[in-house]
Amino acid sequence: MGAQQVGSPLKTFPLFARNASTGELRAYEANGTGGLKSAYELGGGFGDATALVQANVSEGGRANDLYHRAAGTLYYTAEHGNDTKVIGGGWDIYNTIVSVGNMGGTADPDLVGRDASGNLWLYQGKPDGTLAARIRVGTGWNGMTLVGRGDYTGDGKADLLARFGDGTLNIYAGTGAATVDAVVGTRYDAGAGWQAYKALASAGDTDGDGKTDLIAADTAGALWLFKGTGNTAAPFAPRVQIGASGWAAFDVLF
C-alpha cells in the first residue's frame, strides 16, 4: 500500500484512553495483527475536558497532536503536551465533537461538531492545528453516538458511523467534498446490539489488511476488535477480544 496523507482513512491510529479518576491520558499503538502494544503516557490534566479528539499522526505512527475542550474553549496540544494553544471559544454549543479524518478533501484531518438542533458542522483542519470557517454539512443528527475517522465502505473516502438509541449502527459514506449538507451520502446498515458497548472508537487499519477496523469497550470493561471487511453488506467480521476488564478504568476512548 502506498504512502497516505496525514488523516487519510486507512492510516493506523493509536487508541487514546482517559483514566476516569486521574484525568491522565495514555495511548495504545496497534501491533499490526489486530492487537495493541503496551501503553505510553500522554500526560495528565485532562480531567476537566468535555471533549477529546486526536488530530495529526506522526510518520512513526504515534499521535502527536490532540484537541480538547474545557469550559467552552477548544485547545490544540502538539508534541505530547509540549505546546498548547487556544483555537477559540464558543465550542460549548456542540454536544459532540469528533475527528473525522480527511472528510472535506484537504490534506489535513478535520473536525465535526453537532449542535443542540442536530446540525453537523465541519471544520477543515490546517497544518498548524487551526481550523477553517465552519460549514454546515448535515441536519437531523440528534440522538446518535458519532464515530469518525475511517473508510468503512472501501471507496477511499472517510465515512461517519452513527449508533442510534436502539443499538443499531449505520455507516454514512463520505462524499469526499465539503459540500453544504452533503458531506455524507449513502447509509449502510452495520447491525444491531451495539448498545452493549459504552464506547466505540476507530484506530484505523489495526491489522494491516487495508481495511478500517472498529474498537469497542463493553460495560464490563472488556475491549473488542471488529475487523473491517470493506463490504457494505457485512462491514465487520465477528468480534475478537483484545483487552480484559481493566478497561473499565477509562471513561473516554478516542
> Which distant-in-sequence residues (6+ apart) come within 8 Å of 200 by Cβ?
145, 147, 161, 163, 194, 214, 215, 216, 253
Which grid cell sits at 142? 440528534
For β-strands 169-174 and 135-138, DSSP reports them as unpaired
Residue indicated by cell numbers 471487511? 229
Q: What is the DSSP letter of 24?
A: -
- The band of 52, judged by pLDDT with boundaries at 50, 70 and 90, is very high
Least confident among 56-70, 76-90, 128-142, 238-252: 56-70
The total domain count for the chain is 1
Tell whether 65 is covered by a domain. Answer: yes
**Which CATH number covers residue 27?**
2.115.10.10
Tell whether 225 is covered by a domain. Answer: yes
**How far is it between the farthest Cα atoms of the chain?**
44
Tell whether 211 is covered by a domain. Answer: yes
Tell whether 6 is covered by a domain. Answer: no
Mean pLDDT of 82-101: 92
* Percent of the chain topping pLDDT 90: 67
Separation between Cα atoms, residue 245 and residue 233, nearest integer Å: 31
Cβ count near 6 (within 10 Å): 18
Tell whether 9 is covered by a domain. Answer: no
Tell whether 10 is covered by a domain. Answer: no
Separation between Cα atoms, residue 186 and residue 88, nearest integer Å: 33
pLDDT above 90 for 54: no
Nearest to 104 by CA among 137, 76, 127: 137
In tens, the pLDDT along 172-208 reads: 999 888 888 778 889 999 999 999 999 999 988 999 9
Residue 21: what are its φ and ψ, rounded to 5°? -90, -30
What is the value of pTM for the model shown?
0.88
In tens, the pLDDT along 202-238 reads: 988 999 999 999 999 999 999 999 999 999 999 999 9
Report the b/e string of 123-155 with b at 16+ CB within 10 A: bbbeeebebeeebebbeebeebbbbbbbbbbbb
pLDDT above 90 for 104: no
Residues of the domain holding 132: 15-253
Tell whether 149 is covered by a domain. Answer: yes
State the pLDDT at residue 162.
Answer: 97
Contact assessment for residue 51 and residue 94, using Cβ atoms and an 8 Å cutoff: yes
Spatial strand order of the sheet with 214-218 comes to: 197-202, 214-218, 223-226, 240-243
Nearest to 172 by CA among 141, 131, 133, 204: 141
Nearest to 223 by CA among 28, 64, 49: 28
Nearest to 84 by CA among 71, 65, 110: 65
Tell whether 88 is covered by a domain. Answer: yes
